[in-house]
Structure 1
Amino acid sequence: MSKAGTREFNEVVVTHLSNGVKVTLPIHTIHGKQPGPVLGLSAVIHGDEIIGAEILRRVAARIDEQKLSGTVKILPVANQLAFESLTRNTPLDMTNLNRVFPGDPDGWVTEQLAHSIVENFLSTLDAYIDLHAGGAVPIVDYVYIQNDEALSRAFNFPLLYRPSQSYEGTTVTYTAAKGIPSVTVEVGGGPNFEKDIERGVEGILNCMRHLEMIPEPVVAPPKQTVVTEIKIIRPRQGGVMVPEFDFSAVGSIIEGKQVLSRTYNPQTFEELEVIHTPFERNIVILMRGLVQKVNPGDYGFMIGNLDTAEGESTL
């Protein structure tokens, strides 16, 4: 019996916790009426990046399987254990899922999870988009250029990043090695603003237009800037961080060496650290935009160097 024009939902059992509860991969499959590529969409590889789950819920709701060419496979919560604890790493073994692909069926629970994602999801795809975010506190906004620049640009974010060296052990480490066109998106986080959710939805739909999966014209991208140098700034001192800019500064240009934040000892009121912009022409990629507790080594800011960027920024 043909599955064309239908939807299905399956939960692939990965393992069981000590209390008997199943750890599963929730996979939605939308079968288009017409033939076409298999596109995979995933989110919540990191458990504190919950915006991706909402983006994928809305994408699923807006796809018309009767007009779809190909198949869309959606893994909205890739790491249930980390999602439950709202942590970047899997709490049972404190391992970062996005550093252990392709995984190991005989390894730590995170490695078992990665192996199951490969076997039941990634290995079945013709194209792939993986959603990430700033986490529970910071907000971020850019798209990686991996192995298909046109597909990355079709997400229509104004800022892209061409890394000189990619992280090893990510989902895209596996898919790119298999020649699967892949896009890694970093969007939102922290307050999970509505505008960021909708930009994520529209970005995926436009990539589907680019792949000729939905019968709509591709929306032309805005003026785009490609950064090749990003400085990750981690505070050296913990305390209460007071930023000099709010979240609206994400994507904006800061000229010269300016103060980004000040961190104070909440008990003595002593100023412990002042964080400055690292470049002469800075573009804000990730930031903390509210007064918050910060620990030494947390993600504080990600700042791109516009002096080494490709193309002229219009931001």
Structure 2
Amino acid sequence: MTTLGTATACPGEIATGRLSVGEARDGSEISLPVAVINGQDEGKTLYIQAVSDGDELNGVGVIQQFVPRIDPSELSGQILIVGIVNYYGFQVGEHRNPIDDTKMNRAYPGDPNGMSSERIAHATFEAAMRADLILDLHQGSTSRMIDETRVRCGSRHRLHSDCLELAKVFDCGFILDQKGPDGQLARTAPDEGVPTIDPELGGSVGWDQESIEIGLRGVNRVLKYYGFIDGSIDIHPQTRANSFEQYGAPAGGLTSFHPDLGDYVSSGDPLFDVTDTFGRVKSTVTADSTGVFWRTRRLPQVATGEYVCSVGTDLDEY
């Protein structure tokens, strides 16, 4: 029998429930939606969570479509799922937890007696630490971004190769291999011995089915490769970036991009123009280095110095 919050599943069963994480300002209980998929046979444990950033919804789109499709009678091991981590941010469509103005994915491993975000992080971290593998589903907030997978433990970490293997199995085609900020789940969990990746499933306002499909395929590839379900997968070389270059606007106006997301650029290639309202080019920004056109702002209007786009650099094939 496997339990997470109020969800309890016997072998061969799926159960859903809630995981209590505190109380709201009116004293009502706050709890997160959880699911337990308990396989018919023994095996590894996979932990999946989504929406630790409240406006990143493609991950919950993956979970919404994945859970009805899985047959626990054909599963070895168990899957623990927290469908929405940032309860408060999700309710109002904001990136951060508005109760304490904290980015949830900077609060791990959390604190049971801390601020709202720390308490949520503590409860979900405890669930994650029951697993052998962790998938923390994200997207590029409301920016435009390629589908990619992030390894955040750092190249010198003892689990670096295990996290890279998991990223390659998930297979978004692009990997960012760069040590993450303090408090990220994908950086913190490997310190406790659990390989963890942070799939960034595109970027959109709301969600987009194409990136959700990539996430669904990634989860199923993980299940097959690590023996949760029958089947085999092919592992292909992927483009790995080890760092970013970010570009801001040298003038105010409207941006238009030269490359498409995922295109390779070379040093000196034009990245974007800033024009005035009437289409006159005020400035053209070029790439400093060879890389992949990785991420852009969604809206065209910019002020001087405002973020415009990012290029993934220091590339190799992994």
Tell whether the structures are fold-level matches, with TM greater than 0.5.
yes
Q: Which residue of 2 aligns with 1:115?
A: 122
Structure 2 CA distance for partners of 1:297 and 1:166, relative to 1, 3 Å: farther
- Corresponding residue number in structure 2 for 1:159: 174
Provide closer, same or farther for how the CA distance between residues 150 and 272 of structure 1 changes in structure 2, counting only shifts above 3 A. Answer: same
- Could you say what secondary structure the match of 1:124 adopts? coil
Q: In the alignment, residue 225 of structure 1 is paired with which amino acid?
A: T
1:225 to 239, 242, 245: 239
Normalising by structure 1, we get a TM-score of 0.85
Q: Please, which of 241, 253, 257 is the counterpart of residue 244 of structure 1?
A: 257
1:90-112 Cα offsets, whole Å, 9 max, x none, are 11221111112111222221112
**Count of matched residue positions in the alignment of Structure 1 and Structure 2:** 301
Q: State the match for 1:256 in structure 2.
A: 267
Gapped regions of structure 1 (runs ≥ 5): none
Q: Secondary structure at the match of 2:168?
A: helix
Out of 169, 174, 182, the residue aligned to residue 183 of structure 2 is 169
State the shift of 1:198 in Å.
0.4
How far has the Cα of 1:137 moved from its partner? 3.2
Kindly report which structure 2 residues correspond to 1:28-177, keeping only aligned pairs within 5 A, or say none: 28-119=35-126, 121-145=127-151, 146=153, 147=159, 148=162, 149-163=164-178, 165-177=179-191
Q: TM-score, normalising length from structure 2? A: 0.85
Identity %: 23
Q: Which residue of 1 aligns with 2:29?
A: 22
Displacement of 1:234: 4.8
Q: Say which SS state the counterpart of residue 188 (structure 1) adopts.
A: coil
CA distance in 1, matches of 2:15, 2:253: 47
Larger displacement relative to structure 2 (90-99 or 16-25) = 16-25
Contact 2:49 2:137 in 1 (8 A): yes
Counterpart for residue 198 of structure 2: 184
CA distance in structure 2 between the partners assigned to 1:116 and 1:264 by the alignment:
48
- Judge conservation of contact 1:133–1:140 (CA < 8 Å) in 2: no
CA RMSD after TM alignment:
2.6
Please say if residues 278 and 303 of structure 1, whose CA atoms lie closer than 8 Å, have aligned partners that are also in contact.
Answer: no
Secondary structure at 2:147 match in 1: strand
2:291 to 269, 282, 285: 282
SS of equivalent residue, structure 2 residue 113:
coil
Among residues 304, 307, 312, which one is paired with 1:304 in the alignment? 312
Residue range with higher mean Cα deviation, 202-211 or 137-146? 137-146
Shift of 1:203: 0.8
- Give the residue type in structure 1 aligned to 2:137: L
1:47 counterpart letter in structure 2 = G
* Cα separation, 2, equivalents of 1:117 and 1:295: 39
1:143-200 residue CA offsets vs partner (Å, 9 max, x unmatched): 123531221100122211221x332111123310111121111111215332211011
CA drift of 1:301 comes to 2.1
SS of equivalent to 2:198: strand
Structure 2 gaps of 5+ residues are: 2-8, 154-158
**CA displacement at 1:135 relative to structure 2:** 0.8
CA contact (8 A) 1:151 1:210 kept: no
